[in-house]
Every structure is written in C-alpha cells, then in structure tokens.
Amino acid sequence: MKIGILSTNRALYSTARLVEACERRGHEVRVINHKRCYMNIASHRPAVHYRGEALTGFDAIIPRIGASVTFYGTAVVRQFEMMGVYSVNESVAITRSRDKLRALQLLSRKGLGMPVTGIANSPDDTADLLRLVGGAPVVIKLLEGTQGVGVVLAETTKAAESVIEAFRGLHANFLVQEFIAEAGGADIRAFVIGDKVVAAMQRQAREGEFRSNLHRGGSAQLIKITPEERSTAVRAARVMGLNVAGVDLLRANHGPVIMEVNSSPGLEGIEKATGKDIAGMIIEFIEKNARHGRTRTRGSG
C-alpha cells in the first residue's frame, strides 16, 4: 500500500514510529506537511498538490493534525477523501472531536458519563452558572486549549469569578466544569483502535499540579481498566466517529467520566508505559479496512 502521513515534522516520535511501522510491514510511506499542501477544488478532478507536484496513488492517509491548524488540516483531509483516499480518521470526525462543546453535547446525548459542565455568554449569569456545576472548586477551560493550556482550577467562588471575568475580557470561549476531587490528580488515557481499547495508562499529575498531561511533567504507568471504563472509551470514540482515538477518563465516585476525546493521540507516552506496538496496530487496522472511496463517518452530529 501507499500510505501518506499528514504531519508537520517527520522527527516527532509519533510520526517516526508510524513511518517505521509502515516500512516494517512493507508499505510505501510518505510524510506530507499538510500546512504546505494546496488544492484544486474542481468538481470532476479534485487534487492535492505539494512541493510542486500532484499527490496521487495513495491508498490511505493518517492525519496527525495539531489543534492550531484544525481548519486547514481537515480541509486537506477532506480533499483526499474527495479523491477516494481512505483516511484512518475522517475530516468530519476530527472537526467534531476538536470542538469541545460540540463533543460534550454529543457525548451527553448518548448518555455517556462526564463532569457536570456549564457554559454561558453573559456575565450576568456567572453566579448561577457556578451553582449549576455544584460551586467551587471548579475547573475552567478554554475551548481552544490543548495539552492542559488554558485550564484553570478555581478553588473558591471569588477565584472562579475572577478567572471567568478575565476570560470574558479576552472574548474567549470557555467551559466551567465540576472538579472531580476523588481522581487525585490522575486520569486514564485509553487508546482506542477500531472498536477495541488496545492499551491504557494512568497519568499522574506532579505534586502541586492538578493537570496530569505528560507535557506538564505528569508521569505515566500501565493500568488495568474496568469493563465499564473500556466500554465508555469505545463508545466515546464511536460517537465522535473516530477509528483511532485517545479517550481521557477520570475515576469519579459515580463511575468513569470523559474529559476529552483526542483525534491525534500521541504514541510516545502510551507505548513506553505499556510496551505495546501501537503504531503497528494502527497500520494493521488500515490494512484491514482501507478501501478506495470508503469515506463513511460513524456516529452522528
């Protein structure tokens, strides 16, 4: 097969591992910087061009698109889909998962567990908004934030009001969520491929920090998850329409709650924590499922 990896940097761990897995399994692979692609959006002959040439003959693509370039990156994925190229995660599914508010509304509609979440536009509603999510402490999240950036724990009502006022002053969109204290600064990253959790790790925040992201100094270790956690992760990926996803869960007193569904989950932390060849599993999934013109986003919304 001829497989394209949409990534801005071939040296990134996840990209390098996917290249290695493709080559080890005998596939032709090419890393394509989606930011450098340009497109001919013609009704009969859609095309993607890169460095002066038309990209042709690809059987599948693996999008590794950063949150900051979601709009253009998904446009490139959509163009490949118009050309009949199989994408392991389709453009609609990526866009859906990147919109945190839309993602939470879709998960809620399917009855999946998540923290009590509120959103408001008017500053007049702040007091009632905080009551709606159970009062302080609360977590306030920028909708555009990633890797723990733009996530604030407000331990008192006054602190929450100050953060909300600041975010509103910046005309930023944000969510207010209940703080799951019993999680103890730990979360679970369940790695889903197809309809199966293939690996899971527990991430623990460093001392004095409530965000467990590895980029923020958190640590990771292998963990055995419960059947309920496994089912929740698979259902969350399915609702988003993602074939490959990193589903972040917290262990609340009333069961697992979903924090986020990531459409471009990193491989380094999960592979090192579990010792599993996740990159190889992704390529194996493509081998079994890639078909020309097979663009069919699962889920709804």
- pLDDT (tens, 9 = 90+) of the chain, 301 residues, equals 999 999 999 999 999 999 999 999 999 999 999 999 999 987 788 899 999 999 999 999 999 999 889 999 999 999 999 999 999 999 999 999 998 889 999 999 999 998 999 988 777 778 888 999 988 899 998 887 565 577 888 999 999 989 988 888 888 888 899 998 888 888 999 999 999 999 999 988 766 555 555 555 567 789 999 999 999 999 999 999 999 999 999 998 888 999 999 999 999 999 999 999 999 999 999 999 998 876 665 544 4
Domain CATH number, residue 122: 3.30.1490.20
Q: Is residue 104 domain-shared with residue 242, that is, in the same domain?
A: yes
Q: Is residue 174 domain-shared with residue 201, that is, in the same domain?
A: no
Q: Is residue 222 domain-shared with residue 154, that is, in the same domain?
A: no
CB 86, CB 295: distance < 8 Å: yes
Q: Which of 179, 194, 215 is the last residue of a domain?
A: 179
pTM attached to this predicted model: 0.86
Q: Is residue 102 domain-shared with residue 202, that is, in the same domain?
A: yes
Q: Is residue 175 domain-shared with residue 189, that is, in the same domain?
A: no
- Residue for token digits 């989606």? 34
171: left (phi over 0), alpha (psi -120 to 50) or beta: left
Q: Is residue 124 domain-shared with residue 170, that is, in the same domain?
A: yes
Range of the domain at 33: 2-96
Q: Is residue 101 domain-shared with residue 188, that is, in the same domain?
A: yes
User: How high is the pLDDT of residue 301?
Assistant: 47
CA 5-9-13 angle, 5° bins: 85
Three-class secondary structure of residue 27 per DSSP: coil
Q: Is residue 249 domain-shared with residue 193, that is, in the same domain?
A: yes
Q: Beta strand 196-204 with 219-222: parallel, antiparallel or unpaired?
A: antiparallel
User: How high is the pLDDT of residue 194?
Assistant: 95
Q: Is residue 91 domain-shared with residue 133, that is, in the same domain?
A: no
Q: Is residue 125 domain-shared with residue 209, that is, in the same domain?
A: no
Is residue 143 one of the residues assigned to a domain? Answer: yes
Q: Is residue 141 domain-shared with residue 45, that is, in the same domain?
A: no
Residue 213: CB atoms within 10 A of its CB come to 19
